[in-house]
Structure 1
């Protein structure tokens, strides 16, 4: 009997991974949901999932959270700037617990990406490699939801504003990335691997055209310089640091860092990934 643990299990991705494991037939009592606040996982506990407290910043809590775990999904943390130390705590606890496979949600092309998100992912990947733990790196592309969450704004303004210079974006739904993570945890092979994960690739021009087609409201893509984009974001209320960070993400897209032709995601899913149109349509119907 194998015990599977998912960190950040009450988060948007982690909760979907738990769902995917259960849907694939894993016995609920063989799934450990590692969460910072157990009360937020009452619904998982009601389904028979084992809920344990574990905080990325509290090394001692992670020892108890990972006791007896055979395979672990480390969902990358959300606190940019603190993630290297936080992730190292999880890796060390996994070593101490004798985890047999560690799966980590990294960033598409993390080893070469100029994205401001990439350095922490590279450092975590190195820490995992140095640990000697058998591991799988899931280098996730962009969630469609990164854009569909702003559907109302696009419809209100009639434009998708960015500074990507029509760089291609390898995307997929959060549910697809979660299903891929579950597949990597459950895989029978013992080999290690690096998976560059993306489904459909699209530009912001494609996004605007898809929104127009799905909603019937004309939306266009307006591409600006990185500096103009940064100033615009500040004008909309973002502080200078956050605006610069967001502009740097678009610069990374313009450089091609979120584009891949690899089909690793479909291979893990055993089916084609969902499409951008499906994601826009879902967001439109949910609005």
Structure 2
């Protein structure tokens, strides 16, 4: 039995869809805060209430699950404790293998996001359970979800300078996760560095948007503080989230969002889509 946490989130939904092409619905269980929402999405898949912040409820919810996909939580700053709650409950419940969605080079990355992932990985590895770590790179959607605003303004703002970004789509990472989860014995003990095949800079992204749409897009390079303020004032993001994105792009200048590994390609058995393809799909 495979359990998937965060199954109603963006990565979780896509993972379930890929799993259902490989496994029967009765071999899956979604572990979510709102089982009714999950049932509306995946009517044939059983769902259990699961809240990372309520440790006393987690062990029972994991009963009968042999492989658990722990999708990292969204509450930055609280994830070390939340993930520890899940890992400890999984061990008590007799989960055999834990698969975790981490961050590219979490053990050495300078991104502020890395700290919680690194601590989670260490706890998993010390738990005694079999594990697979999926160190996901940057999501291409972090850029394409704001594509219309870029086109309207004719400007792409960013703090990554000319650092290279080896992103992939959520769908790519979800499909890779499903491939691992359905052939778990072949992957136990592995830590995968997952990055897309098509590397680009923000200038390259602006040029690609222009090429696809025929509209001129200028790349405006900013420092960390300027970009953080832009994300708050123009994009309307909360200060904490703006800090995370600005920090990530700031470190991208020094390779923080790049990766030379072909492990995502190998897990998928195909190349990840080109930047041009993803932009076209996003329009």
TM-score (norm 1): 0.93
User: Which residue pairs with 1:246 in the alignment?
Assistant: 245
Runs of 4+ deviating beyond 4 Å: 237-242
Distance 2:38 2:187 in 1: 31
Encode CA deviations 1:232-255: one digit per residue, 9 max, x unaligned: 334435565544333212112112
Distance 1:283 1:9 in 2: 23
Distance 1:190 1:217, change over 3 A: closer
User: Which residue pairs with 1:228 in the alignment?
Assistant: 226
Distance 1:64 1:210, change over 3 A: same
User: Which residue pairs with 2:49 in the alignment?
Assistant: 53
Distance 1:262 1:242, change over 3 A: closer
Cα offset, 1:230, TM superposition: 3.0
Distance 1:173 1:9, change over 3 A: same
Which of the residues 187, 202, 205 maps onto 2:203?
A: 205
Q: Unaligned 5+ residue runs, structure 2? A: none
CA contact (8 A) 2:113 2:244 kept: no
Deviates more, 1:165-174 or 1:240-249: 240-249
Q: Within 5 Å, which residues of 2 pair with 1:185-204?
A: 185-187=181-183, 188-189=185-186, 191-199=188-196, 200-204=198-202
Distance 1:232 1:11 in 2: 27
CA contact (8 A) 1:113 1:252 kept: no
Residue 31 in 1 paired to residue 1 in 2?
Answer: no
Distance 1:156 1:44, change over 3 A: closer
User: Which residue pairs with 1:172 in the alignment?
Assistant: 168
Deviates more, 1:196-205 or 1:148-157: 196-205
**SS of the residue 2:166 aligns to:** strand
Number of aligned positions between the proteins: 280
**SS of the residue 1:104 aligns to:** strand
Residue 71 in 1 paired to residue 82 in 2?
Answer: no
CA contact (8 A) 1:55 1:62 kept: yes
Distance 1:53 1:232 in 2: 38
Distance 1:181 1:238, change over 3 A: closer
**SS of the residue 2:51 aligns to:** coil
CA contact (8 A) 1:141 1:172 kept: yes
TM-score (norm 2): 0.94
Distance 2:89 2:217 in 1: 48
User: Which residue pairs with 1:281 in the alignment?
Assistant: 280
RMSD: 1.5
Deviates more, 1:180-189 or 1:136-145: 180-189
Encode CA deviations 1:80-121: one digit per residue, 9 max, x unaligned: 000011101110111012111111000011111111111000
Distance 2:207 2:245 in 1: 23
Encode CA deviations 1:25-61: one digit per residue, 9 max, x unaligned: x010000111101111123452x21111111111122
User: Which residue pairs with 1:22 in the alignment?
Assistant: 20
Distance 2:161 2:47 in 1: 45
Distance 1:205 1:102, change over 3 A: same
CA contact (8 A) 1:33 1:50 kept: yes
